[in-house]
């Protein structure tokens, strides 16, 4: 299974079937005045998705910009950066069970996220293709996370306790 390929080191030719997950699309599943449930297909580039959210004023992913890879791969290791992890904004993901081709959904709780970890790296490793991820993001009253060292230092140097947005 190949996503963006950023977490792979090819040390020789691969004599096997390679499936590149290239499903595209972003859609709104649900929204109210304060929150949006945004679905993103697995083949979307992660950073492009973060930029899409920032452009539309959806809050929650901004600290995780520039992490290499695709959206569908993000839950596998519960990607994170600058004090924020995928689990903080994750609602559910859809997947196909490879053994049966059945479509299934995994809730936040079922994914059993830990630091750079989830069931997709442990009990369910290699058993599912993640096809879609749904996020719960803010539409206002964004919870800007600036406590992380490098961000905090940068803001202090610029005499600002809040980034501009
Ligand atoms: C320079 C660099 C910086 C990085 N910085 C960070 C960081 O700050 N924070 C962080 O958390 N990570 C970081 N990473 C790790 C990397 O960004 C993540 O592991 C990312 O999720 C990999 O995504 P990918 O689509 O490129 O995965 P790939 O390399 O394509 O695949 C990784 C694994 O997931 C499997 N896979 C891929 N797509 C699917 C799918 N749809 N369903 C099921 N299995 C699938 C593959 O078979 C493979 O085993 C960094 C990596 C690099 C190279």
Atom of ligand 1 nearest to the CA of 70: 25
DSSP assignment string, 88-137? GTEEEEEEEETTT--EEEEEHHHHT-BTTB-GGGTTTTTTEEEEEEEEEE
Average pLDDT value for residue range 130-142: 97
> Per-residue pLDDT for 122 more than 90?
yes
- What does the pLDDT read at residue 165? 57
Which CATH class name applies to 26-157?
alpha beta
Cβ distance 142 to 163 under 8 Å? Answer: no
pLDDT, mean over the chain: 95
| Beta carbon of 22 within 6 Å of any ligand 1 atom | no
Q: How far is the CA of 17 from the centre of ligand 1 (A)?
A: 19
Question: Which pTM value belongs to this model?
Answer: 0.95
| CA torsion angle 30 58 63 164 (round to 10) | -160
Cβ distance 27 to 58 under 8 Å? Answer: no
| Beta carbon of 5 within 6 Å of any ligand 1 atom | yes
Atom of ligand 1 nearest to the CA of 78: 11
| Beta carbon of 43 within 6 Å of any ligand 1 atom | no
pLDDT band at 164 (very low <50, low <70, confident <90, very high): low
As given in the structure block, the two tokens for residue 57 are: 């004023």
């Amino acid at each position: 299974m190949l996503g963006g390929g950023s977490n792979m080191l090819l040390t020789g030719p691969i004599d096997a079937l390679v499936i590149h997950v290239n499903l595209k699309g972003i859609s709104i599943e649900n929204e109210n005045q304060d929150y949006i449930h945004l679905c993103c297909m697995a083949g979307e580039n992660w950073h492009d998705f973060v930029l899409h959210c920032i452009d539309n004023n959806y809050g929650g992913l901004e600290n995780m910009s520039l992490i290499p890879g695709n959206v569908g791969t993000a839950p596998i290791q519960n990607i994170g950066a600058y004090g924020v992890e995928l689990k903080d904004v994750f609602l559910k993901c859809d997947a196909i069970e490879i053994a049966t081709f059945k479509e299934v959904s995994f809730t936040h709780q079922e994914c059993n996220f830990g630091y750079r970890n989830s069931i997709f790296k442990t009990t369910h490793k290699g058993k599912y293709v993640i096809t879609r991820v749904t996020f719960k993001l803010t539409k206002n009253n964004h919870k800007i996370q600036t406590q992380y060292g490098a961000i905090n230092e940068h803001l202090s140097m610029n005499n600002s306790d809040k980034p501009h947005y």
